Amino acid sequence: MRLQIFALAACLALIPAVHAQSDELGARPFNSPDPAVQEQAIAQSWQPRFTVLPAKNFNAETAVRQAGAAATVPLWSRTIGSAGTNYKYTMVGRNPFVALNTFQSLNIKAVVIPIKITFTASGNIVLDPTATDSTCSPKGTAAALTKASPIFNTISGGIWNTDVGTGEYVDLFQRANYYTQTNSTTGINPDYHTNLTFSQAAVRSYSSSTGEVVAGTCGNLGLMDINTWDSYLQNTLFPALAAASPQIAPPNTLPIFLLYNTVLYQGSTSNCCILGYHSAFNDPAYGGAFHAYASVEFDTNQSFTGVADVSAMSHEVAEWMDDPSGINPTPSWGNIGQVSGCQANLEVGDPLSGTLDQIYMASNKYTYHVQDLTFTSWFYGQKPSTGVNGWYSFLGTFTTPAAAC
């Protein structure tokens, strides 16, 4: 089951669904022109995945109070029972279970920060989301294509015969997630929206002395250690953004660090490849305010199955919205999607990593790839689901709750 019609208010249409194993998204043989560097070929054992770096010292009550004072993004919390245990989760936006009456449409500023990376240990190879790449990204730079994507632009969502409204992709996911509350017939919040207002900061330069560059299917693929990268973000770049005038990405915004054909590994390249993650911390530059953010790859490298352009961003923005701290608890689930074994958090992208569909944007005549996303009811075993059509995921991949793990 797939999303049938997505269209811009000014005439967008959803291309028929694409299976993650299709030739378009599948890993291709290395038959493209030799890139500038070939230190090693991409390891065939590498698999694309996503992760979360949970917020340390997170306190939901404190964060919600900060949200009430506009010191951080709007937040709401709810307690839900599952198999005799109560779980409390905190999400971005407004509570769809409380009749809002007015101001139902919420806009949060998203600040996309392109990162120009120079790999100094690999002959100063540069991967820059603002630079032209006529070979691997002939229809525009990664930054320009991100701006025009359905992550930040209004589309109309019709799922089979059900109209979930008009909004951005992740906003429509959240409306569909809580469709018992947001539908126009019986819902208490039919005008419920959580949209992102796009802003792009100036490109920032980063020199990676420990990362490396390998030959991808199209062009170069950069590799960096996630812990080194995240330490730089929290300890160097965030303070610089706070010190700028005006401040670039305060805690009441969503900072998105945009990488181009650059993935992350943990510890060593044998533990590769992370295409996106989200995290949060209590930012000392803002009096300890809860500061959530994401780092994502825009992919035109074509080296991984089930990955293309903004698919990583659709995954991470949705997880930021539904699990901003990275520690929302759930019953144990797993052995599905990218997860081997069990985990117990509300990471709405992980169970469906690589399950993509296409959205054609008439504004720039580009076909984007977005990921199916998991409804809250799937994690907590709710019957019936609060989701549209009684489903357990946005595009209908899941029609029953998670199996116990």
The CB-side HSE value for 105 (13 A sphere, CA atoms) comes to 9
- The closest alpha carbon to 10, from 390, 363, 379, belongs to 363
| 383 CB-contact burial (10 Å; exposed 0-12 / middle 13-18 / buried 19+) | exposed
Q: Tokens for 364?
A: 């720039």
Q: pTM for the full model?
A: 0.90
pLDDT value of position 105 = 85
CA distance linking residue 276 with residue 315, whole number of Å: 8
Based on its alpha-carbon atoms, the radius of gyration of the chain, rounded to whole angstroms, reads 20
pLDDT value of position 20 = 32
Q: Cα angle at 39 between 38 and 40, to 5 degrees?
A: 90
pLDDT value of position 376 = 98
Which residues in the chain show pLDDT less than 50? 1-40
pLDDT value of position 182 = 95
pLDDT value of position 190 = 93
pLDDT value of position 97 = 96
pLDDT value of position 15 = 30
Question: At how many degrees (to 10) do helices 311-322 and 169-177 cross?
Answer: 50
E strand intervals along 237-355 = 254-260, 262-265, 272-283, 289-298, 329-336, 339-345
| 348 CB-contact burial (10 Å; exposed 0-12 / middle 13-18 / buried 19+) | buried
Q: Cα angle at 218 between 14 and 220, to 5 degrees?
A: 125
